[in-house]
Amino acid sequence: MNKQEYMDCEDKALLHTYNRFPLVLDHGEGVYLYDTDGKKYLDFAAGIAVEALGYSNEAYKQALKDQIDKITHTSNLYYNVPIMEAAEKFLKVSKMDRVFFTNSGAEAIEGAIKAAKKYAYTRDGHADHEIISMNHSFHGRTLGALSVTGNAHYREPFEPLCGGVKFADFNDIESVKAQVTEKTCAIIFETVQGEGGIYPAEESFMKEISALCKEKDILLILDEIQCGMGRTGEMFAWQHYGIKPDIMTSAKALGCGVPVGAFAMTERVAEKSLAPGDHGTTYGGNPFVGAAVSKVMDLFEELKLTDHVKEIAVYLESKLDKLVEEYDFITARRGMGLMQGLVSTKPVGTIAAEALKEGLIIITAGADVIRMVPPLVIEKEHVDEMITKLKNVLDRM
């Protein structure tokens, strides 16, 4: 079949919940993707911050092949070795104490919310607790995750959602304090807001939130699904701030393409929250995804990816800052590490579509941000190539 036939077939078979770009991807190599026509694309989206290792990493592929030859699934009624190894490595880099593996980021959010509610229930003996989330946040598409997503556009068609959720303004501590009551059991937010426009938490905000939570025994839940796994130059973005959450979520690059997420917590929270019968999953944490996570952790360490991100990010930021100076419709750069956004007064959807013609894959965040979340293994030469291709697009705008 040709490209159009593939797209027509998919449009007829799949539920239309995405407006896709007219591109049928076939395979990848390094930081490049290739479509079914053989055209080559420099990838600065990484499957929405998933493919941290790039494509076709031989060690990663071999680990998955080896596990397929053994066993891919057992259920959580039994122990398995790969997920035990994955858990040990994840807890080592996150400095958390307990972890539960899920199938997705949204499910990790669901688990984090349940853990916070159960903690408060165990402590107080009642179940009418509240959660504070942030305006312009994004935590997922399931009903629980939607309930704490601070964008009415996403929530309204599916209301009523889970009750007891209040919204405050990100990076505004007084706005948060105004929402706190004796019923507040948790405060949840992305350490770096992604869909909301690539906004990092300010250090003062993060430290004041942490102090507030400790003072009132409110659990701090940090969503690291997109900004975690080395993307900002630390393994998890909260590690830049000298604080520690009570619960954190992870996904996307955790499996580098294999669908897996996780929520992790301190021992204090684990002791008073989810117990046998409170939570479960059939697929979550099976041997196949365990092998993926375990190898991803090994490769992050072997490749010294967080150090690499710190080095490349400085170069990328300098190049993006020059675009802000050069183009009057590119008004700002925001971000941390290899999670960057350019604010544009011209349609960012058009810019992303035009970039495909240049052999460049970029995505958007919100209504006015060009989002760049490339594989963490990019080099300076790839930054230069991206800038050249992007400028060709911007010159036409």
For residues 312 and 336, the answer to whether their CB atoms sit within 8 Å is no
Round to whole Å and give the CA distance between 328 and 346: 10
Q: Is the pLDDT of residue 163 over 90?
A: yes
pLDDT in tens, 212-240: 999 999 999 999 999 999 999 999 999 99
Give CA 32 to chain center in angstroms: 21
Round to whole Å and give the CA distance between 121 and 279: 15
Q: Is the pLDDT of residue 317 over 90?
A: yes
Q: Is the pLDDT of residue 1 over 90?
A: no
Residue 132 φ then ψ, to 5°:
-105, 125
Confidence of residue 2 (pLDDT cuts 50, 70, 90): confident
Round to whole Å and give the CA distance between 118 and 53: 36
Tokens matching residue 64:
């998955």
Q: Measure CA of the first residue to CA of the last residue in the chain; give whole Å.
A: 34
> Taking the CB of residue 207, how many other CB atoms lie within 10 A of it?
15
Confidence of residue 3 (pLDDT cuts 50, 70, 90): confident
Query: What would the DSSP string read from start to end of 53-100?
Result: T-B--HHHHHHHHHHHTT-S---TTS--HHHHHHHHHHHHHH--SEEE
Tokens matching residue 82:
């790969």
pLDDT in tens, 252-290: 999 999 999 999 999 999 999 999 999 999 999 999 999
pLDDT in tens, 373-387: 999 999 999 999 999
